[in-house]
Amino acid sequence: MSGAEVIGQKLEAAVVEYQNLEKEYSKVVNNRAQLQSQLQENELVQKELELLSSDSIVYKLTGPVLVKQDHAEAKANVKKRIEYISSDFKRTETRIKELEDKQDKKRTEVIKLQNAYQDIMQSICLIFLLIAACKATTISGQIVPNWLLFANLLIPNIPKDLAKLTPATKAVLNNGQFTAYIKEDGSFNFFNVPEGSHTLRVVSPEFVFDHVRVDVSSSKVSASITQLGAGYAREGPKLSHPIELTPKRPLVYFHEREKFNVMSLFSNPMILLSVFSLGAVFLLPKLTANMDPEMLEEMKQTQKSMGLGNNGQVEMPDFQKSMMDWLAPPPPQVPETEKKSGSKKKRN
């Protein structure tokens, strides 16, 4: 049996004894309160009897009945009762003092056992922490500049290729379980990382970085590029340790509105259909003028038979006349009597 278990058992026994002493102390205190109340009541009765004369009639309550009693006998009974209650009260006071002393000693014993138990448990926890610290590993990384991290000559004493990284840039492990801020040279470190698989990513308001899976064991640290939703058995390209990361693309928060382009009009099918129709209207007469005479004469005959044109030329509809006829108001209606009189005048 270990020392912690022995002290724990002693502590439990001491706590139980202390609780029993508290219960007994509470009972004795309540008993003292009752005795004190009885003593005060009998002393008050004794004072009242002293005020009476020797031939006064005294009654004693016995159950529901009042019994007549001699004055001298009543005074003697009250006096004996006061002496008895006073002796019990003194014994109770002595017992309370003894219980208080025992409580103080037991309380001191419990406190000592608690301190000893806490010291042993703290030592055990410290041992476990030291063992865990021996197994813990440090993960190191470095942000390597590329074409996205251009030089900034306005900020002195900082590597110019990393000058565009803001102080908000940081590396996080397991979505914030461990956090490491990027130093001026682009390096970062995670200390006391336990064994197992972890996810490393760089949080930056300017650039997007790869997500890295980091496997920590007692002997080595291995890293590989991973993607969100990838299975545990799937590993991407391997990375060496310390891990080197480069930004993949800048973060774009606002998209520029597309500018007007004349060529975009020709991608509209309605515009293309209109252009084709207008081309047909203007080019068709020129094509008929250069045709073979025989074919032209044959086409004229066909047009005449179909009523499409006069004098061998293709007639296009008069859109202006059609619109004027459509928009013009209707002609006034002539009454039937005026139509008949007009027809008679023409006959005459």
What does residue 208 show for φ and ψ, rounded to 5 degrees?
A: -110, 130
At position 239, the amino acid (one-letter code) is: L
Six token digits for residue 30: 């309540």
Full-prediction pTM beyond 0.85?
A: no
Cβ neighbour number for residue 209 with a 10 Å cutoff? 18
CA distance 54 to 207: 112
Q: Are 225 and 212 in contact (CB under 8 A)?
A: yes
Judged by DSSP in three states, 274 sits in: helix
Instruction: For residue 323, name the pLDDT band (cuts at 50, 70, 90).
Output: low
Instruction: For residue 30, name the pLDDT band (cuts at 50, 70, 90).
Output: very high
Higher pLDDT, 328 or 152: 328
Q: Are 206 and 165 in contact (CB under 8 A)?
A: yes
Write down the pLDDT at residue 97.
Answer: 92
Cβ neighbour number for residue 89 with a 10 Å cutoff? 17
Q: Check whether 75 has a pLDDT greater than 70.
A: yes
End-to-end CA distance of the chain: 150
Q: Check whether 346 has a pLDDT greater than 70.
A: no
What Å distances lie between residue 334 and 18, 111, 329, CA to CA? 128, 127, 15
* pLDDT, tens digit, 9 for 90 and up, residues 259-316: 877 777 777 888 888 888 887 777 767 766 666 777 777 777 776 665 555 544 445 5
Chain position carrying tokens 């047009």: 303
Higher pLDDT, 303 or 68: 68
What does residue 279 show for φ and ψ, rounded to 5 degrees?
A: -65, -40
Write down the pLDDT at residue 337.
Answer: 62
* pLDDT, tens digit, 9 for 90 and up, residues 168-211: 889 999 888 888 988 888 889 988 888 888 889 898 888 888 88
Averaged confidence pLDDT in the chain: 78
Q: Are 209 and 174 in contact (CB under 8 A)?
A: no
